[in-house]
Amino acid sequence: MLDEVTKVFPGGTVAVDGLSLEIEDGEFMILVGSSGCGKTTVLRMVAGLEKPTTGTIRIGERIVNQVSARDRDIAMVFQNYALYPHMTVYRNLAYPLRQQRLPRDVIRHRVEEVAEMLSLKALMNRRPAQLSGGQRQRVAMGRALVREPAVFLLDEPLSNLDARLRVQMRAGLKRLHGRLGVTTVYVTHDQVEAMTLGDRIAVLSDGKLQQLGPPQELYDRPANVFVAGFIGSPPMNLLRASARDGRVSAGDFVLERPGLPDGALIVGLRPEALKPAVDGMPSIAFRVDVVEPLGDELIVHGSLAAELIAASSDRDVAEGALPVANGTGVEAVARLDPRDRPAEGRVIRLGIEPEAVYVFDAKTGVAIR
């Protein structure tokens, strides 16, 4: 669908850099990345609100580079919803259909259908200013759905909602997609949304595609340090390490990994893979700083006996210059069973199964398997 698309803004900012991405029919595709990574620009190019500098965009068989937004058969939900303030909910929902000059009774029928689906029936005569955030969000969704478009574009649609509503709407979105099966491109900076909603996730950084795959694959086999640090919550602990004669060491953490070439490495340890050390397991000293009990688990913050690296400073990873995190606010995180609650201020040893350790090249950030 997107082929070698590049967008350079006036002034020379490269927002999207040679991105190729194919989205299957009916797929729920997530574009995720930190702010300024180009994900919204990609969406806007698909929508026809921006023209790619080079490359082609196809929807179905059709190259749409020169096709205007109105003729692309797409619908978009904006981050701030962009409801027409001077129209009632009904007229907002009916607007795209009226633009298509459909007969009045067809419009009424379709609007009511969508209103039913999103339980907006009681709000039809209100104006956007009289709606709550969640209601506005549903109207924005409805206005996109009512057109029965070929592609459904969502630009951080949940980011303006409070946390509870966001979880609720997230499930609603997933249900809706399951029912309608419309091809959907969803932009978010929230990796939880990405993991829960996506059929596949495209992780973007600096306008480049970092990894593309189903959520579980991204979690299990991150292609590079950026993806490793981005996917998963709390994020993966990344340690500066070195390899010698098949032994990887980071501080007092030592791991046998035969066949690894000598040199600088980055080791990744998922917080949920850490547990109180058992004999024979690679382990590391962990100074417990703060313990956050969540009931079913503990989030333990602290520091490690190794050099920590900030997880998602993508720019630096790309340039091979990794920031040193010790003393710069980056802390290690572990998720432990409440029964293993450590005392704050104590130093404990946490172990990890050797196969749960991720190893990355320190220069390129690429995963070594």
Partner 1 sequence: MASTSTATVDRLVRLDAPEQPRRRLPFSPWHLFLAPVAVIMLVPLIWMVILSLETSSEAQSFPPVVLPTGLHFHNYVATWNSEPFGNFFLNSAMYSLATVAGNLLFCSLAAYAFARLKFWGRDVLFIVLLATLMVPFQVLLIPTFLIVKHLGLVDSVGGLIMPNLCSAFGIFMLRQFFRTLPIELEEAARIDGTSRLGILFKIVLPLSLPALATLGIIQFMWSWNDFLWPLIIIDTASHAPLQLGLSTLQNAHRSHWNLVMAGTVMTQIPMLIVFLFAQRWFIRSIAFTGIKQ
Show contacts of 337-343: CB within 8 Å, 24+ apart: 337/275, 337/297, 337/298, 338/293, 338/295, 338/296, 338/297, 338/298, 340/275, 340/276, 340/298, 341/291, 341/293, 341/298, 342/288, 342/291, 342/300, 343/288
- Nearest Cα residue to 266 out of 360, 354, 333: 360
CB of 62 to partner 1, least distance (A): 17
Whether residue 246 contacts residue 259, with contact meaning beta carbons closer than 8 Å, is answered with yes
The nearer residue to partner 1, 152 or 230, going by C-beta atoms, is 152
Residue-wise burial string across 84-105, b where 16 or more C-beta atoms lie within 10 A, e elsewhere: eeeebbbebbbbbbeeeeeeee
Number of residues forming the site for partner 1 (CB under 8 A): 23
CB of 99 to partner 1, least distance (A): 4
**Dist. CA 33–CA 170, nearest whole Å:** 18
The contact mask relative to partner 1 for 19-58 (x = CB under 8 A, - = no) is: ----------------------------xxx---------
CB of 16 to partner 1, least distance (A): 18
CB of 351 to partner 1, least distance (A): 51
The nearer residue to partner 1, 101 or 339, going by C-beta atoms, is 101
The nearer residue to partner 1, 75 or 243, going by C-beta atoms, is 75
Whether residue 38 contacts residue 7, with contact meaning beta carbons closer than 8 Å, is answered with yes
**Dist. CA 361–CA 358, nearest whole Å:** 10
CB of 97 to partner 1, least distance (A): 9
The nearer residue to partner 1, 147 or 200, going by C-beta atoms, is 147
The nearer residue to partner 1, 77 or 115, going by C-beta atoms, is 77
Sequence-ordered list of residues with C-beta below 8 angstroms from that of 123, at least 6 positions apart, any chain: 89, 131, 135, 139
The nearer residue to partner 1, 77 or 239, going by C-beta atoms, is 77
The nearer residue to partner 1, 72 or 335, going by C-beta atoms, is 72
CB of 170 to partner 1, least distance (A): 22
For residue 289 the two structure tokens come to 């700083």
* Contacts to partner 1 from residues 51-110, by CB under 8 A: 68-70, 72, 74-76, 78-80, 82, 84-86, 95-96, 99-100
The contact mask relative to partner 1 for 117-156 (x = CB under 8 A, - = no) is: --------------------------x---x---------
CB of 95 to partner 1, least distance (A): 6
Whether residue 1 contacts residue 58, with contact meaning beta carbons closer than 8 Å, is answered with yes
CB atoms within 10 A of CB 320: 11
Point out which residues bind partner 1 (CB under 8 A). 47-49, 68-70, 72, 74-76, 78-80, 82, 84-86, 95-96, 99-100, 143, 147
